[in-house]
Structure 1
Amino acid sequence: MPNPVEVHSLLSEFDVNLFKAGRHYKLYEKFGSRELMVNGVKGVYFAVWAPNAQTVSVIGNFNGWNPHSHLLNGRWDSSGIWEGFIPGLANGEVYKYHIHANTGERLEKADPFALHAEIPPRSASIVATTYYDWIDSEWMFNRREHNALDRPMSVYEMHLGSWMRDPKEPERFLSYREIADRLVPYMQEMGYTHVEFMPVMEHPYYPSWGYQITGYFAASSRYGGPQDLMYLIESLHQSNIGVILDWVPSHFPGDAQGLYNFDGTHLYEHADPRKGFHPDWQSYIFNYGRSEVKSFLISNAFFWLDRYHVDGLRVDAVASMLYLDYSRKMGEWEPNELGGNENLEAVAFLKEFNEAISKYFPQVQTIAEESTSWTGVSRATFHGGLGFGMKWMMGWMHDTLSYFKEDPINRSYHQDKLTFATVYGFTENFMLPLSHDEVVYGKQSLVYKMPGDEWQKFANLRALYLFMYTFLGTKLLFMGGEFGQTSEWNVNQSLDWHLLQFKPHAGMKKFVAKLNAVYCSHPALYEKAFSPEGFFWIEHEDRANSVFVYCRRGHDLENDIVVILNLTPVVRKGFRVGVPHLGKWKMVLNSDDMIYNGSGVGVKKEITAEKIFWMNQEQSISLDLPPLSGIILKRG
């Protein structure tokens, strides 16, 4: 005989109607498992959506994984929700749902709303709580300012499992708390404003980097429990460092315990494989037209912003969501009702997602990884946009890396690769990414993309970084790039921290730390990062010398910054450069300085502008340009 599962519900009729309408954004307060006391008895309440099930039961160690022991109660309202209270259970209990589908299949599924899970390859859910006594109130009160579009944002992208490991135990992952103890002082030393974690949600296959998620509400147990991740985030906040999470609403894997075929039907994924299967990643695409799925996804976004105090979501693979023909050949996709290739359901979902976050979490940012020319990704929905705060500038990344890969003798023929970005650079709020995708699968590390001998490679990379930090938009650099990691990123091992004993790498690390300090302390570099008023070329057609000169401008013209790039290994003595103001100009940063392992070509620390018309400016300065370098000047 089945054991008693008491009829108990946390879901009101209003909750259910919101869920069915796609407008319930806090399902994590209602679904899943949670420890409760009912009528003076401690136990655990369960709720799961499985509308095409004959029966749903909870199985676990507590009942010997017997699918006939603890049957949940199907709601009377045809919502497809099964729920109930099992006395005697508590946090820490391991469980799954046994689903007897209308098709006759018998499925064992992890809880889609589980807050914790077993360490893979085990795949059961664990009853847990996200209660935490937060002490980051000062950050939370001020985070609107930290995340504002007119504030500096320098993001350190990292993967938790391969950032750093204990040299004595190289096979072991550091815990969230161990990472906190190492990461916080490192972020402070390096001067980053934000860290972006590649997906922390539970995923069965570690080499997927976290992008094949089975537990959307569960922080990966590889590194600890929910409160351990909260400690890491809190520690960063206490040091005035924001936290961005990669979020993956674009696809999910077909693992047996996951969302795929959840109740014997295509419940979360689109039934039509032309819309529901992703050929690139061999995974399944959410059905964005299904109201309950929209409630699930937006609730998941809210969950991380609410329960984990996350400051932003970088939304993965947005392009794959927007286009019905993404990575598909003719005949493998079907046009929308208007005859186009746009996925109208996904477009509507993304707009609703951004509108909801803008309303309930106006102090955070959403950032789109979107690689096409889709119009208005980072424009408000009431102006016809998708509503994101920022968009990755993939075109800038490809063009810039392509330029810097060229031998300097050929760069005069590729000048447009560095200048083209300003043609479209203010159509969106762009973030400049040098991300993990650029240092894997045979693409080489950033420093080994550079031409020349070792000294030239590092000089080129310093010049590239200076260009990125002084160009338009916000900034993102993947871990290892800050000290010139020489090997490609390997998810199965730590970064090569031992390289810091060598001068080129130690110099690169000092240089990136200085770049962050300069960027964050000079308003001209960030106040108008998304406006054409904040940038203008002084010289961008000097192909003979491969020299670029531009001005960055904030609200106060007195704070103007001038940047000079000499992207050849030739020292240019007495080179004249136009500047926007008379008076003294002071050296802020020279990438060729010897403390960064540069050549140390002498550049005056202070230069006085003369009334000599040059480069379309009424005044100019004369200085020596170091080889393969970037120079930042400010008004004295």
Structure 2
Amino acid sequence: METKKQSVKKPAAKKTSAKKAAPTQPEHIGLVRNDSWLEPFEGAIRGRHDHAVWKMNQLTQNGKKTLSQFASGHLYFGLHKLSKGWVFREWAPNATDIYLIGDFNNWQENEKYRCKRIEGTGNWELKLSEKALKHGQLYKMKVKWNGGEGERIPAWCRRVVQDENTKIFSAQVWNPEEKYEFKKKNFKPKKNPLLIYECHVGMGQDAEKVGTYKEFKDNVLPRVIKDGYNCIQVMAIQEHPYYGSFGYHVSSFFAPSSRFGTPEELKELIDTAHKNGVAVIMDIVHSHAVKNEVEGLGNLAGDPNQFFYPGDRHEHPAWDSLCFDYGKDEVLHFLLSNCKYWLEEFKFDGFRFDGVTSMLYYSHGLGEAFGGYGDYFNGHEDDNAICYLTLANKLIHEVNPAAITIAEEVSGMPGLAAKFEDGGYGFDYRMAMNIPDYWIKTIKEVRDEDINVCSIFWEVKNRRPDEKTISYCESHDQALVGDKTIIFRLIDADMYWHFAKKDVNDIAQRGIALHKMIRLVTVAAINGGYLNFMGNEFGHPEWIDFPREGNGWSYKYARRQWNLVDNKDLCYHWLGDFDREMLKVIKSVRNFQATPVTEIWHDDGDQVLCFMRGDLVFVFNFSPTRSYTDYGFLVPTGSYKVVLNTDSKDFGGNGFADDTVTHFTNYDPLYVADHKEWLKLYIPARSAVVLKKI
């Protein structure tokens, strides 16, 4: 798409008795001011910004209404109970006839349940008496078009259920007598820092089954609260036909998955989290949709391109799914309304947008190297998708200024988490996807004695200064079948035989030590937030494998074995305790994520790294064999106490150091003017310690 050049109003020239003032140059847009290397691409950056402004003006009729008012399709479309009767509406421009069929008419076409096209639009409407529908009844649309017909689940429906015997999905009339009333009003997420517990309701139980919203609220949420996380990122909420898709092949975008329970139970889960100071964000999937036609949007009314791009861009080549056409106003209306719906109806505190890289590029980022800035501005970017993401962020923060938006994006597109006014896309955070890749590569390819602390320090703090990130060592991606978690890469089969506290071998001891150090150095360098996937905090063994034909439809690996961390005789307990204490230390510094990361020392030969944040000193010795006595670090003058030590016996370490000792800095006349002295420490091999200035 061609982009319009931004018209820059020149400032009035100052009056002077001498000669005319030279014409002023347009000020660089914020992204370019913050990064001069982007200057050659300023035209493209401004073009994308102008495109979003133009589209926003078009959708809001040049400000006559708000973006939030535009994104209210869920209040119009779908099935709604009125003060007197019911109304059903659907967008289906290619349809020639639509009937509602269901329990109420024996699943047969009936004139009483025949929709009417609203003149001059592609919308259909049906008004019914109060007695025509009852709560709990099942229904679908019977859609006809030139050359065909089919049963369909409405695109805007809010409740979809699956028959246990036939496995057929149907929409369900949902109008319970008792509506859930949120007890916690005006909740605001804590973001200083944002500590995210990524979780999945269905696999959140010990039992080999699909867990429920209620079970998660009662059994898992208390663990999250106790461990010190202030946000849960919930996966697989939008209804999806195949459980094993992890929720990423969505069919009904407005329906919370019924396999976990009722909408009221989901609301109670969110409300309970809020009452305990925990934010709830949703893993939202707007990057693609499942191909299913009966359950999904694949062919709602005889036009496969109603919601999706035509031609070569119709299907995602790697995900076996369909790609939304972000250039259509009706699709923007659908997706933006979807964002607002989850915020308002369920009080979600924001979203982690899945698959953003796939949205940004015509190639979906597949086979792309992204080796330089030119790779982000070479014409293969989908301006429509970029515009949608920008508008989505504007809308979300208009509906809830305290909302959280996170982009899962691997290419490194500049400006993704920068302010809209600066030419950015407006996300609050972007995922630091380089960090887990780095840890996997290091564990797989680098010997312990060759670990480079300078490289570690670079990776954990490698980000654009004007964009906040969510750092993490591993997420659900690293726990799936075909991959391995950090703990499994480090210890592997020895976890089965040597993870009892009385029988820890050298391999398990090494894995336990590095698991703690990797997490500590990652969280210690955050500039926004930190994420952990459910169970990984205590080194959950094995992998995630959802029920499928290849495993006999077993739930054995689609669960979390909380009994392991609860067992004081097993090593998992050590790792869980360490994670809890680690977060407590991070939260002890006000606005920890905003404090500068000040390097004190690094030595790749010794494999020792030291840096400060606020009053905390972080010291790491990655050497597998060498312990150091009286290792000196030049720090602000004063006394320091140990607040966390990975080598503590409480966390499965050797307990070589006496952590009760207060450490006083040693005078050095060379650094008096800098108010610095030497902090001398004993640092055991393969350990890390955090000290606090007192």
TM-score interval, normalised by the smaller of the two chains = 0.7 to 0.9
Map of 1:608 onto structure 2: 664
Contact 1:412 / 1:545 at 8 angstroms: preserved in 2?
no
Question: In 2, are the aligned partners of 1:214 and 1:253 still within 8 Å (CA)?
Answer: yes
Q: How does 1:125-136 map to 2 (within 5 A)?
A: 125-129=171-175, 131-136=179-184
The Cα of 1:603 is off from its aligned counterpart by 3.8
1:95 aligns with 139
What is residue 250 of structure 2 aligned with on the other side? 213
What residue in structure 2 maps to residue 360 of structure 1?
A: 399
Residue-by-residue CA offset, 1:571-605 (whole Å, 9 max, x unaligned)? 52324232431010111100110011111111443
Residue in structure 2 matched with residue 8 of structure 1 by the alignment: none
Describe the shift of the 1:462–1:74 C-alpha distance in structure 2 as closer, same or farther (beyond 3 A).
same
Question: Per-residue deviation at 1:634?
Answer: 1.1
Per-residue CA shift, 1:70-93, capped at 9, x if unaligned?
A: 210110132433333254212222
Residue 504 (structure 1) aligned to one of 561, 571, 580: 571
Q: 1:493-532 maps to which residues of 2 (within 5 A)?
A: 493-500=558-565, 501=567, 502-523=569-590, 525-528=592-595
Report the 3-state secondary structure (helix = DSSP H, G, I; strand = E; otherwise coil) of the residue aligned with 2:579: helix
Give the match for residue 453 of structure 1: 507
Q: How far 1:424 sits from its partner (Å)?
A: 3.2
* Correspondent of 1:535 among 597, 604, 616: 597
- Which of 81, 91, 95 aligns to 1:49? It is 91
The Cα of 1:633 is off from its aligned counterpart by: 1.1
CA displacement 1:527-584 (0-9 Å, x = unmatched):
44xxxxx1122123x111111111113xxxxxx2110111122352324232431010
* 2:635 aligned partner, one-letter code: P
Q: Is the 8 A contact 1:610 1:619 kept in 2?
A: yes
2:26 corresponding residue in structure 1: none
Structure 1 residues 447, 568: closer, same or farther in 2, change over 3 A? same
Which residue does the alignment assign to 2:103?
61
Q: Please report how far the alpha carbon of residue 272 of structure 1 lies from its aligned counterpart in structure 2 after TM superposition.
A: 2.3
Letter aligned with residue 244 of structure 1: I
Q: Which residue of 2 aligns with 1:31?
A: 77
Specify the code of the residue in structure 2 equivalent to 1:442: G
Is residue 482 from structure 1 mapped to residue 556 from structure 2 by the alignment?
no
Structure 1 runs not aligned, ≥5 long:
1-13, 331-337, 529-533, 554-559
- Choose which of 107, 110, 113 in structure 1 pairs with 2:153: 110
Given that 2:666 and 2:677 are in contact with CA atoms closer than 8 Å, whether structure 1 keeps it comes out as yes
Tell me which of 425, 428, 431 is aligned to 1:392. 431
Q: What is the 5 A alignment of 1:151-550?
A: 151-166=192-207, 170-171=208-209, 173-257=210-294, 258-326=296-364, 340-405=379-444, 408-412=447-451, 415-433=454-472, 434-450=474-490, 453-473=507-527, 474-491=529-546, 492=555, 493-500=558-565, 501=567, 502-523=569-590, 525-528=592-595, 534-540=596-602, 542-550=603-611
Aligned to 1:77: 120
Q: Are 1:23 and 1:295, in contact at CA under 8 Å, matched by a contact in 2?
A: no
8 Å CA contact retained: 2:449, 2:624? no
Name the structure 2 match of 1:531.
none
For residues 412-432 of structure 1, the C-alpha deviation after alignment (integer angstroms, 9 at most, x for no partner) is 457424424434353421101
Deviation at 1:398, TM superposition (A): 1.4
Q: Which residue of 2 aligns with 1:551?
A: 612
1:405 deviates by 4.5
Query: Structure 2: which amino acid aligns with 1:432?
Result: S
Given residue 549 of structure 1, which amino acid in structure 2 is its aligned partner?
C
What amino acid is aligned across from residue 398 of structure 2 in structure 1?
K
CA contact (8 A) 2:68 2:399 kept: no
Checking the alignment, whether the CA contact within 8 Å between 2:460 and 2:471 is kept in structure 1 is no
1:313 aligns to what SS in structure 2? Answer: strand
Within 2, Cα distance between the matches of 1:361 and 1:26? Answer: 15
Q: Given the superposition, is the C-alpha separation of residues 270 and 215 from structure 1 closer, same or farther in structure 2, using an over 3 Å criterion?
A: closer
Does the 8 Å contact 1:367/1:388 carry over to 2? yes
How far is 1:246 from its partner? 0.1
Deviation track 1:105-138 (CA, whole Å, cap 9, x = no partner) reads 102111211111113632111121494211011x
Cα separation, 2, equivalents of 1:212 and 1:44: 31
CA contact (8 A) 1:379 1:388 kept: yes
Deviation at 1:468, TM superposition (A): 1.8
Q: Residue 636 of structure 2: SS of its match in structure 1? A: coil
Give the conservation status (yes or no) of the 8 Å contact 1:539–1:548.
Answer: yes
Contact 1:379 1:428 in 2 (8 A): yes
Corresponding residue to 1:621 among 673, 679, 685: 679
2:676 equivalent to 1:634? no
Distance 2:448 2:203 in 1: 37
Are residues 524 and 539 of structure 1, via their aligned partners in 2, closer, same or farther at CA, if it must alter by over 3 Å? farther
Distance 2:203 2:608 in 1: 38
| Cα root mean square deviation, aligned | 2.6
SS in 1 for 2:571: helix
- Name the amino acid aligned to 1:66: Q
Q: Which residue of 2 aligns with 1:556?
A: none
SS at match of 1:522: coil
* Dislocated runs of 4+, deviation >6 Å: 14-19
Q: Deviations over 1:5-43 (max 9, x none)?
A: xxxxxxxxx999999x997212111111122343xxxx4
Please report how far the alpha carbon of residue 522 of structure 1 lies from its aligned counterpart in structure 2 after TM superposition: 1.8
